[in-house]
Amino acid sequence: MKAAVMYGINQPLVLEDIEIDEPQHGEVLIKTAASGVCHSDLHFMEGSYRYPVPTVLGHESAGVVEKVGPGVTRVKPGDRVVVAFVTSCGACDYCVVGKPYLCGNSAALSRMGRIKLKGQPIPQFSNMSAFAEYQLVHQNACVIVPDDVPMEVAALVGCSVMTGVGAVTNTMKVPVGSTVAVVGAGGVGLNIIQGAKLAGASRIIAVDLLENKLAAAREFGATDVVDASKGDAIQQVQGITGGGVDYAFEAIGLAKTAEQCWAMTKRGGKAVVVGMIPIGASVSLPGPDFIFAEKSIHGSFYGSTRQTYDMPWLMELYRQKRLKIDELISRRYTLDQINEAYAALKNGEVNRSVITF
């Protein structure tokens, strides 16, 4: 099969022929239909997060079941599925208390060395390696896609939609009437905005540096926008709300913007880090705020997803036209155009791009 191979940091991805094993017990071979071009992969491409190379990146995808191994009961050949990049075992302490996104056995369910480049085993990324024509995944990662949901839409449900909407609805359970700020109006940030709208937030303030991102934020539900290139963003948010917001979501992945989110919250407010802050970076917060302002900071991983429960209702909201996903997709590329897709992402030209197969 064809796959986009990462050979090193800050190097273009290279289209190569690679081999993939047949599915074994509990495994599913999926023919990829669509893979989202996500900033999380860019963190690995640029070295702020490390992963063994060569490898095949990609973690936001949907496809059609080609083959199943022995013992597979969740799906069958021909099924259309979203692939969740956290494979949960269903039996560890985290899984049994309803936190499968923190599964302690997820790594053990991966298929390391089951794809080969020039005869040599290479590691599988995020339990799927979705920038390839086929994926070998565990059946627990598969979520059925209704026939009337396009595959590129389903792919985005697999990461950006789940991560953004879930940060609001699952991780923080934002109450109706709350005030919310979202720092970073990219693919995940726009879905945090959508989640806040669904939750009934009274004010949703989008913060970004680019006019096109702020325009998109308004389209997806922001009631107010703050251009951080024109004055102090913290002061602007405090001015709009008369003192700060109840919840401030960081959706870029920088220590500086996490600290800004903290400062944007009012007394008793909550800062929520959704973006991938680079390894080695630290967030510095004023100590007295914890006590005298009773502020708090939270992390949100993958929208605290319980994929077999959450992804179906996200797709149902899309079917009811209550969740914008088609509108997220700015451009479509083929696999051999993947470096162009990442250049557009880095330049801030797109909300989300999709590789279609």
Catalytic residue among 35, 39, 59, 138: 59
Q: Per the residue annotation, which of 95, 103, 159, 261 is the catalytic one?
A: 159
Distance, in Å, from the CA atom of 224 to the CA atom of 222, rounded to the nearest integer, reads 5
- pLDDT recorded at residue 51: 93
Chain centroid, CA 157 distance in Å: 9
* pLDDT at res. 164: 98
DSSP β-ladder status, 352-356 and 27-37: antiparallel
Q: What is the model's pLDDT at position 113?
A: 82
Rg, the chain, Cα only: 20
Q: Is the separation of the CB atoms in 268 and 293 below 8 Å? A: yes
The Cα–Cα gap between 334 and 14 comes to 13
* Burial class for 125, CB neighbours closer than 10 Å (0-12, 13-18, 19+): buried
pLDDT digits (tens, 9 = 90+) for 318-335: 999 999 999 999 999 999
pTM score: 0.96
Active site residue 39: no
Q: Which domains does the chain have, with CATH numbers?
A: 2-145+325-356 (3.90.180.10), 164-301 (3.40.50.720)
Burial of 227 (0-12, 13-18, 19+ CB in 10 A): middle
pLDDT in tens, 144-153: 999 999 999 9
Number of H helices and E strands in the chain, helices first, is 11, 18
Q: Is 92 a catalytic residue?
A: no
Distance CA 36, CA 47 (A): 20
- Name the catalytic one among 38, 95, 142, 261: 38
The span from the CA of 191 to the CA of 249, in Å, is: 11
- Find the catalytic residue in 35, 40, 110, 304: 40
Catalytic residue list contains 95 = no
pLDDT at residue 153, as a whole number: 98
Catalytic residue flag (residue 178): no
Residue pair 85/124 in contact (Cβ under 8 Å)? The answer is no
Query: What is the pairing mode between strands 352-356 and 329-333?
Result: parallel
Q: What is the pLDDT of residue 109?
A: 75
For residue 223, the model assigns a pLDDT of 98
Residue 22: count other Cβ atoms within 10 Å of its Cβ: 10
Q: What is the pLDDT of residue 6?
A: 98
Q: Please give the Cα distance from 38 to 157 (Å, whole number).
A: 12
pLDDT of residue 59: 97
Q: Is 110 a catalytic residue?
A: no
What does the pLDDT read at residue 323?
Answer: 98
Q: Which of 43, 61, 95, 261 is labelled catalytic?
A: 43
With H, G, I as helix, E, B as strand and everything else as coil, classify residue 294.
coil
Structure tokens at 206: 């989008």
Please tell me the distance from the alpha carbon of residue 152 to that of residue 36, in angstroms, as a whole number: 8
Phi, psi values for residue 93, rounded to 5°: -60, -40
The predicted pLDDT at position 108 comes to 76
To which residue do tokens 């095949």 refer? 56
**Ranges of the chain whose pLDDT falls below 70:** none
CB 208 within 8 Å of CB 179:
no
According to the model, what pLDDT value does residue 112 have? 79
